[in-house]
Amino acid sequence: MAIDEGEGIRVQPVRKRGRRLTVMGLLVLVALVAVAMVTYRNRVSKAEERLTLLARYERTSPVADGAIGAKEYGPPVTITWTEDNSLAAFQPYLLDPTKSPVPGDLTTAPVAVDATKSKTPADLSLLAYAAYTDTSLFLAFRVRDQFVDAEEKDRERPEYNDGVEVFIDGDREPNDFVSGPPISGVGVNGDKEGFQLLVNAAGHKLSPTRDFTSEDWRASAGRTADGYVIEMEIPLTLIDTKDGPPFAPAGPGSLLHLGFAVTDNDVEVSRQMSYAYLRTSKRTSSPFRGGERAWGFGIELKPKRSLLSW
């Protein structure tokens, strides 16, 4: 069919409009790509700024038996307390037992050696592992320690032996765990949204929370040639990822805030000689005394499947 001059005139504006829409579409696309790149860069930057344990999903459950199996966990994260590690810190008041608010046997605690500034990796370092199943989060720690204090007489005060403390903030809101006096003076502190777990080298447990007791989670300890191993099994139903009701248990994709601390005694003594912990650049307090705001690291429960894995 022939198109006359009038019809040609009517068609022309439509073509221009189409070009205008195409240009606008390109501008919008460029803007979206720019926003996506900035968002990705910020996320990567934040991830690089802090230590994050990646807990991979395991169909075959690890066993918290005090021995780390070859296929139970993914790659570990190495943590040291040397002077060149900006994340490493020590509780300074433990150097002088006469000034320490931590009660204990002060008569046998040596004070000549300053163990609150730096330790060689052979004297204190650890490999931290994580994994999870449909029902539980598993954490494991292989601690290198030249002297292991694991006395049965301190069963009722597990913080007096060498051991690992873990602090988990499920809802990532700092309103659950209230910092206060040393652990031995606290009966209850925290809840499922933010809590502390302690396991010492003798396998003794402590979890001073309002919502559950040490009977509700499992842990074991084992000795190695150069230190000890601690494994924890924490039911996902003990970790609440939502601030306030309703309860939302941890699961695939959950990101939990995390704090670490290690007691390292160099002789058999019923007190804490050296209390080492991880800190962020903005927080210097220990996880216990600083509360949830000092739990600046993370545990990420990797999704079971991800179309974006690359």
Tell me the per-residue pLDDT of 69-98, one tens digit each, with 9 for 90 and over: 988 998 999 999 998 888 888 887 664 555
pLDDT score, position 34: 58
Q: Are residues 15 and 78 in the same domain?
A: no
Judge residue 281's burial from the number of C-beta atoms within 10 Å of its C-beta, 0-12 exposed, 13-18 middle, 19 or more buried. Answer: exposed
Residue 247 per-residue DSSP state? P
Q: Are residues 110 and 57 in the same domain?
A: yes
pLDDT score, position 184: 44
Inside any domain, residue 132: yes
Q: What is the pLDDT of residues 182-193, one digit of tens each?
A: 444 445 689 999
Q: Are residues 191 and 134 in the same domain?
A: yes
Residue owning tokens 């790659």: 75
pLDDT above 90 covers what percent of the chain?
55
Q: What is the pLDDT of residues 98-148, one digit of tens each?
A: 544 444 444 444 443 455 678 899 999 999 999 999 999 999 999 999 999
The mean pLDDT value for 35-64 works out to 68
Inside any domain, residue 231: yes
Q: Are residues 68 and 182 in the same domain?
A: yes
CATH, residue 259 = 2.60.40.1190
Inside any domain, residue 242: yes
Query: Which residues are paired to 250 by β-bridges?
Result: none
pLDDT score, position 4: 40
Inside any domain, residue 306: no
Q: Is the pTM of this model over 0.85?
A: no
pLDDT score, position 269: 86
| C-alpha to C-alpha distances, 140 to 28, 35, 289, nearest whole angstrom | 48, 39, 24
Q: Are residues 92 and 228 in the same domain?
A: yes
Domain that residue 98 falls in: 53-301
Q: Are residues 142 and 271 in the same domain?
A: yes
What phi and psi, each to the nearest 5 degrees, are found at residue 305? -140, 145
pLDDT score, position 189: 81
The mean pLDDT value for 302-309 works out to 64
Element (H, E) at 19: helix 5-49
Q: Are residues 36 and 68 in the same domain?
A: no
pLDDT above 70 covers what percent of the chain?
71
Cα–Cα nearest to 196, from 119, 292, 108? 292
Cis amide linkage into residue 246, ω under 30° from 0: yes
Q: Are residues 37 and 73 in the same domain?
A: no
Q: How many CA atoms are closer than 13 Å to the CA of 267, on its beta-carbon side?
A: 11
Q: What is the pLDDT of residues 244-273, one digit of tens each?
A: 999 999 999 999 999 999 999 988 888 888
Inside any domain, residue 12: yes
pLDDT score, position 7: 37
Q: Are residues 18 and 67 in the same domain?
A: no
Inside any domain, residue 71: yes
Q: Are residues 174 and 278 in the same domain?
A: yes
For the chain, what is the mean pLDDT?
Answer: 80
pLDDT band at residue 37 under the 50/70/90 scheme: low
Q: Are residues 85 and 17 in the same domain?
A: no
Inside any domain, residue 251: yes
pLDDT score, position 32: 65
Query: Which residues are paired to 195 by β-bridges?
Result: 168
What is the number of structural domains in the chain? 2
Q: Are residues 3 and 88 in the same domain?
A: no
Inside any domain, residue 307: no
The mean pLDDT value for 48-60 works out to 83
